[in-house]
Amino acid sequence: MQWTLLGAGALGCVIAGLLRQQDESVALMLSERHRGHFHPLYELINLNGRSELINTQACFAEQARAVECLLVVTKAYQVVPALSALTGLSAHTPIILLHNGLGVAEQVATLFPDNPLLAGICSHGAMKEADWKIRHTGKGETWLGGVNEAGKKWAHLVEPLARALGHAQWSDHIEIQQRRKLAINAVINPLTAYHNIANGELLTSRFDEVLTQLSEEVHQVIAQLDGPDAESLPAFRRRLQQVLELTATNYSSMQQDVAHGRPTENDYISGYVVAHAGQIPIPVTLQLYQAIQRLEP
């Protein structure tokens, strides 16, 4: 089976590279701006610092009919426009959504009601150093789960992914895993983007107060959605601390987006918390949400 990755950003290129290193067949579905000048090779700097040229097959929207398995690795706000162009996609092709944040799968399910739909989270670190030069900055976990009944029949996809990515597991409650990742992103991403700092800076004492407040707000909203499956506040704070330590030298995806003048996933991360807060007061989340909106192009 060939994997087709929709989205050739930093994370997409890392996933494609790791799959190719296991001899998996990989195609990159590219946007119009790459037509004519796409070079099928790109440079991947592995975790050990060694560079490798990765060879994938390039394809475009009109070749959608031939896609066997579609991994969507675009930014959250690009998912629906990018998928809408794939009018020829077969109803048998599984669609796997791996973007940050939440709120997109419902729209994809409406656009492609018959396709097996899966969602997942992937916490590998990736950074674009130049055009077609990507650095793998950190190993992470990958979790997949079915969004619709047809999607739940594709659990076997985690096997080749686990071989390539080092870890991949199936979850029967992927929405809980997604909300847990979103909770981490809703704390780290807007703070690092607003202050233009690496993740590890948040471990310094000047951020103690805002981290305490923000993590409490985000935890309350996510716990309300998770119900009896909610993690405790101390467990969430321990997880946050671990992610900050593990990714201390990394720049969050939102910091990178703001620094490069690109749109951000603010609406799908902090915006999701704002939209689901109900009666819970979230002054810090709201302030950061609005501050990032002002920084967007």
Q: Which is nearer to ligand KPL, 47 or 155 (CB)?
A: 47
Q: Does 247 bind ligand KPL (CB under 6 A)?
A: yes
Tokens 């930014």 label which residue? Answer: 75
AA letter at 158: V
Nearer to ligand KPL, 177 or 199 (CB): 199
H, E, C per residue of 237-276:
HHHHHHHHHHCCCCCCHHHHHHHCCCCCCHHHCHHHHHHH
Out of 93, 178, 189, 285, the residue judged to bind ligand KPL by CB under 6 A: 189
Q: Identify the CA nearest to 157 among candidates 122, 189, 206, 207.
A: 122
Find the binder of ligand KPL among 74, 115, 178, 253 (CB under 6 A): 253
Q: Which residue from 26, 59, 134, 184 is in contact with ligand KPL, where contact means CB under 6 A?
A: 184
> Any contact of residue 266 with ligand KPL (CB under 6 A)?
no
Written as six digits, the tokens of 30 are 């590219």
C-beta of residue 36 within 8 angstroms of C-beta of residue 24? no
User: Is residue 199 involved in binding ligand KPL (CB under 6 A)?
Assistant: yes
93 binds ligand KPL (CB under 6 A): no
Q: Which residue has the tokens 């609406």?
A: 267
DSSP secondary structure letters along 79-101: HHHHHHT-TT--TTS-EEE--SS
**How many residues at the interface with ligand KPL, by CB under 6 A?**
12
Active site residue 75: no
Tell me which of 171, 178, 250, 264 binds ligand KPL, using CB under 6 A. 250
What is the binding site for ligand KPL (CB under 6 A)? Answer: 100, 123, 184-185, 188-189, 199, 243, 247, 250, 252-253
